[in-house]
Chains A and B, each alone.
Chain A
Amino acid sequence: MTRTLTWIREHLLAAVTVLVFVFMLAPNAIILWMSFNKPVGRFNYTWEQFSLDAWKNPCASNDMCQSLSLSVEIGLVATVVSTILGTMIAFAMVRHRFRARSGINGLLFLPMAAPEVVMGATLTALFFNTIGPGSLGFWTITIAHIMFCLSYVVVTVKSRLAGMDPTLERAAQDLYATPTQTFMKVTLPLVAPGIAAAALLSFALSVDDYIITAFTAGQRETFPMYIWGSVQRAYPAQIDVIGSMMLLVTMAVIALSQVLGRARTARR
């Protein structure tokens, strides 16, 4: 009796897991499928017939590719600034003892816990009151993105730093390395994967953000804002092409880094 119950329980668990995975992966499959569609009318929501048109001409809508490049520009600036500032904070938090630690921890935690719409609305209210509604644009978006990426960078780099073996740095100093040498030759290479992960996360957060961006953008249009507007205007198959490309490119990058990592460990 118990055995049959266990059997049911174990297979129930597997069945639920499979169904949830179908639920989570279905939209990506639909996006890939619909990118080969030749839509009738303005909206690419229902399957009509197979076509490679959208893939052959992904920038058919000029606005879309412009918004995409704006998103990438903002993403790059936001990533560089937030990764540098966040890594500095992470080093201070892990390597130094000072007053007001818990207060600083709280300040770092809050942006991750505040609803996005609140951050967007309050920041825009500040911009309205100081520089005026007319000056919203590239830099206000970038300022906002750096703000919400910062905490995620700190968390990511901090966990890498905290898990590091401190004896390695002590060993370098025992071997008469100067503090600068120790940092450049020992500490930085060891933390680098954490910093890289933080930078990737920032870029992903920045490029994909809609809510805060919509508040701080003024007249500029980022890629998520373009998609948002497309629901009202026209939803071309090219959006699904870009969506599929995003997935395929990141999966290729991950696969490549796995292969390279495995090759490197094999060489050792």
Chain B
Amino acid sequence: MTTTLSAPPAAPPSKGGPDRPDRRATLTPWLLLLPGLLWLVAFFLVPILTSVGASVQTGSADEGYKLTWHWGNYASAISDYLPQYGHSLLYSVLCTILCLALGYPVAYFIAFKGGRWKTLLMALVIVPSFTSFLIRTIAWKTILADNGPVTSTLRDLHVLKVTSSLGWTVGDHVLASPAAVVCGMVYNFLPFMILPLYTSLEKIDPRLHEAGSDLYCSPYTTWRRVTLPLSMPGVVGGTLLTFIPAVGDYINAQLLGNPNTGVVGQKIENLFLRQSSGYPVGSAISVVLMVGTLILVMIYIRKAGTEDLI
């Protein structure tokens, strides 16, 4: 936002082309912008603003809804669904951290050791998403099945005993557990982490690494003092691109979880689509989710110190 401020507020219309009449040059951008912006205002901005109004309505689908300023919807939107907020936050934070931990080495490897295979490797990151993500998520049901090789190996290594005692898996199974939900989320959002990381790592001059080692830095110190700071825009971009969709995601919780892994998104969908009078409370929950996400993202951007990102 800071960069756009540098443009003069009342820019001379001559920028549009010196040979054009002034009136037309100032009008053209608005004619180009108008249809698309109206669409966004009508079907994105207005719904979000009116949902604040919808969140204080009472009524049901049959009788119709009335605006009664029923702020009690917010009380139940928050207090009735505390475990779901907790799960959404826990799973999405965990998913973001795991995506960063897995995605950074991969992006680093492709950017600096990829050589002539760079393009192919990056294509391999994107190619899986050509298959519908629901089918791919359901494929994890086969991979993590009770009699499959993954589960039996983990069982033989007694890993499942440890994770089950911690509450991350249930008994001898991997499926229908918090661990499976997080696994599915990491799988689904990993490309969103790798892409921005790769873009920012790829820009770094590899000679900086040589300079680091010339100055007697260990590879680790070079990474910590040179590469990591330079790749911060990618880290911030990747974590946001992962966290924001992850916090609202309920696909993985529904397909790979159990009744105890409920997340906020599931509750919103239930209230909207399967309960006749649920939609005011559903609106209230989505307002809470949106405001909560926005606050977390703002705090994070402030901390990470890259405000020019937006």
Contact = CB atoms under 8 A, between A and B. Distances in A.
Nearest to A121: B286
A45 B141 contact: yes
Contact of A6 (B33, B106, B143, B219): B219
Given A98-B29, A147-B39, A246-B132, A30 B51 contact: no
A107 B36 CA distance: 11
B203 interface: no
A20 B50 CA distance: 43
Interface stretch (B4-12, B151-159, B163-171, B226-234): B4-12
Contact of B130 (A98, A99, A240, A250): A250
Interface residues of A, number: 92
Contacts of A124: 272, 279
A60 interface: no
A244 B130 CA distance: 9
B147 interface: yes
B44 interface: yes
A101 B283 CA distance: 30
Interface string B13-48: 001110000000110111011011101110111111
B33 A116 contact: no
Contacts of B40: 107-108, 111, 147, 150-151
Given A105-B4, A247-B127, A208 B132 contact: yes
B181 to A, nearest CB: 15
Contact of B50 (A26, A88, A129): A129
A119 B30 CA distance: 26
Interface of B is mostly: helix
A126 B140 contact: no
A88 B32 contact: yes
Most chain B CB inside 10 Å of its own CB: which residue of A21, A24, A154, A235: A24
A268 interface: no
A241 B136 CA distance: 12
B269 A126 contact: no
Given A23-B187, A179-B17, A223-B132, 13 more contacts: A13-B109, A20-B103, A34-B139, A45-B142, A46-B145, A99-B9, A108-B40, A118-B286, A119-B48, A129-B50, A208-B129, A211-B265, A247-B127
Interface of A: 2, 5-6, 9-10, 13-14, 16-17, 20-21, 23-28, 30-31, 34, 45-47, 85-86, 88-89, 91-93, 95-99, 101-102, 104-111, 113-119, 121-126, 128-129, 133, 143-144, 146-147, 150-151, 154, 179, 204, 207-208, 210-211, 214-215, 223-224, 227-228, 231, 235, 239-240, 242-244, 246-247, 250-251, 254
